[in-house]
Amino acid sequence: MLILRCQIVRWSEPNEILYNAAVLVRDGKIVDFGPSKDLEERYPQEEKLDANGQWLMPGNICAHTHFYGAYARGMSVYGTPPADFPQILRKLWWGLDKALSEEDVYYSALVCLMDAIRHGTTTLIDHHASPNAIDGSLDQIAKAVEESGVRASLCYEVTDRDGVARRDAGIRENVRFLQRLQKGDNLDGRLSGMFGLHASLTLSDETLRKAREAVPEHIGFHVHVAEHSVDEYDSLQKCGMRVVDRLSHFGILGPRSIAVHAVHVDAQEIFQLSRTQTWVTHQPRSNMNNGVGTAQVESMMRAGIRVCLGNDGHSNTMWQEWKFAYFLHKHANLDPRRMGADQVVQMGVYNNRALVESLFSGKKVGAIEVGAEADLILVDYHPYTPVTEANLPWHIIFGMQESMITMTMVAGKVLMLDRKLLTLDEQGISEAVLARVPATWERYRKLMEQKG
């Protein structure tokens, strides 16, 4: 396919914008790009897509999400409103995850992936939990990924909070799914896996040892780290070490592992995350919603940590995450000079794509260059001020909206065109989920009543 007459944002380093340009896509990859007139003459027989002046750029990446949380939208939390994050876990998430059936796991993933396609998010790194539907749950999500056409990395959340049997089932589910991938059943490279852990506060030393022993060294862990200060105090009480030190002691950190949030880490923990080359993901919308504080993202990046952007299960509108990151740090520090848009781009583009490349066997994503995966979006943006390489980040934060995305492509396959989803039946899936949710909410309510 030859995508013609577009303004190309390459996200090269340094970034380059090509005006009135074209991209040639074959076999799922970018094989040529340049002036539109030149490529049209060079490839006259190619199928053509006229972008009519829209902006062509790589699809967005979400470095941490929770598909299983989709049914929480609009749900009433049982009892009195939670007063802090530990109560949010007990009153909402640790009841909702138990209410999910195998089919709920599949459909919650589908609705999240519809949202991702519609809003130009082409790769997502998911962290799953469904304590009453563990076995095969990652296959259910993988089925949704296959049908949607997106790129995703999956894992199951191991925890001690539901007993030894379920802990062991979670370990087995991670190992089984990783073995499936190792055999080549990976949707032609669109699927990868990690080993999921909840957080230090729900993990015993025995569980951390079992997790480390369950998988080879080259497999990374995906774990929540110090999202709230309770995680740090729990770790200190258990073993006299802070969370990052504890995870490092058990071999959980490293260049393929993701530490999610890291809001309450101290200077030594920042050094340890940097030393071990562990990835950190920042989720500003979630941190604000849960009232847990603001991560020291700028300090982490100065220390050499590769900080990425995720959404923690919020809508897959990653430019919204960019905007919240841009504003949150200014507000929290009472200083409009903090967190420049260039730093947001470093997280949301360059660090996110480096993380994905590490998880998908070196596949080149998130850039328009020869040999890169054709994960692309078209944006119908009509600026009234000039757009340059220097000011593009601010145009995205203050001008571009996900509603302007008209086309989404992954591995050369068009998943949405002219804002119409092509791989998923949006109306049918929405109706099926709408019919299922009341029963899931009722199971949640009964579970919470039993807990008192």
pLDDT, tens only, 187-243: 999 999 999 999 999 999 999 999 999 999 999 999 999 999 999 999 999 999 999
* CA quadruple 230, 232, 235, 240: dihedral sign: negative
pLDDT of residue 362: 86
First to last CA, the chain: 59
Tell me the C-alpha distance between 252 and 258, whole Å.
9
DSSP reduced 3-state for 161: coil
Running DSSP on this structure, what letter comes out for residue 128? B
Model pLDDT for residues 297-321, shown as the tens digit of each residue: 999 999 999 999 999 999 999 999 9
- pLDDT score of 27 more than 90: yes
The predicted model gives 325-338 an average pLDDT of 98
User: Could you count the other beta carbons within 10 Å of the beta carbon of residue 388?
Assistant: 10
The predicted model gives 126-138 an average pLDDT of 98
What is the number of alpha carbons within 13 Å of residue 355 lying toward its C-beta? 37
Q: What is the pTM of this model?
A: 0.97
Structure tokens, 373: 């995966």
Model pLDDT for residues 350-368, shown as the tens digit of each residue: 999 999 999 999 899 999 9
Bridge partners, 221 (sequence order): 195
Answer whether 256's CB lies under 8 Å from 219's CB: yes
pLDDT of residue 146: 98
Tell me the C-alpha distance between 44 and 171, whole Å.
53
- pLDDT score of 259 more than 80: yes
Structure tokens, 292: 């847990």
Model pLDDT for residues 363-403, shown as the tens digit of each residue: 999 999 999 999 999 999 999 999 999 999 999 999 999 99
pLDDT of residue 97: 97
- pLDDT score of 452 more than 70: no
Phi–psi pair at 86, nearest 5 degrees: -55, -35
Mean pLDDT of the chain: 97
The predicted model gives 85-104 an average pLDDT of 95
Nearest-10 Cα torsion for 218, 220, 226, 232:
-40
Phi–psi pair at 391, nearest 5 degrees: -105, 0
pLDDT of residue 36: 97
The predicted model gives 425-442 an average pLDDT of 97
Model pLDDT for residues 42-78, shown as the tens digit of each residue: 999 999 999 999 999 999 999 999 999 999 999 989 8
